[in-house]
Amino acid sequence: TLRCYEMFLGPLEQHKPWEPKGIEGVHRFLRKFWGLYHGQDRFEVSENPASEEAHKALNKFIKKVHHDIDRLSFNTVVSECMILTNRLIELNCREREILEPFVIAISPYAPHVAEELWEKLGNDSSVCFTKFPEVDEQYLIENSVNYPISFNGKVRYTLEFSTDASKEDIESAVLSNEKSERWLEGKSPKKVIVVPNKIVNVVV
């Protein structure tokens, strides 16, 4: 916990305040991380294939961690570990093909926890001798985008569209959506601005 907390405090070149509550927060995170590998107080990791969403979450994490390590930005790596832990809990992910690379990635920051989990996963050698996970680019390709839908500059809701949807199709779908009726107030829009893969703004 202490090592992970020290890495989480902030950039290496900055002075860092000592905050006991911060240590407690990191300890809670490590308990959640440990829980990914356990169910009903026993070790429980599945050999089944993981979902595409879990693979996407893992590979986005690995890519970000590679970038942050190169910049010696260890605090953001720990932050990304927290984010991935929460995401995998949401996905109820217990698959080895996701959790094993995660152990390797977190091992420089929580070596004792990682070493114990690595052994539980059936590995004989130390996790510190294992090659760091590489990004699988196929899981970084997005097939859809969530568009914020705004009216007169204020975001009111979101809609998901395929990345290859045309501006005309997006505009039509937005104007015909029942959520838009409230903000159109029976008026015809003066203009619909579609910024591809970014946002839709309806000027009323």
Digit-coded pLDDT (tens) for 107-152 = 999 999 999 999 999 999 999 999 999 999 999 887 888 999 999 9
Whether residue 180 sits in one domain with residue 92: no
- The rounded mean pLDDT for the chain is 92
Whether residue 130 sits in one domain with residue 169: no
Q: Phi/psi at 165 (nearest 5 deg)?
A: -65, 140
Encode pLDDT of 71-94 as tens digits.
989 999 999 999 999 999 999 999
Question: Nearest-CA neighbor of 3 among 81, 67, 86?
Answer: 81
Q: Which of 83, 115, 136 is the last residue of a domain?
A: 136
Whether residue 102 sits in one domain with residue 152: no
Q: Which of 111, 136, 161 is the last residue of a domain?
A: 136
Cα 181 off chain centre by: 33
Domain holding 78, by residue range, is: 2-136
Q: Give the H or E element holding residue 181.
A: helix 178-184
Q: Give the H or E element holding residue 20.
A: helix 20-35
What CATH number is associated with residue 93? Answer: 1.10.730.10
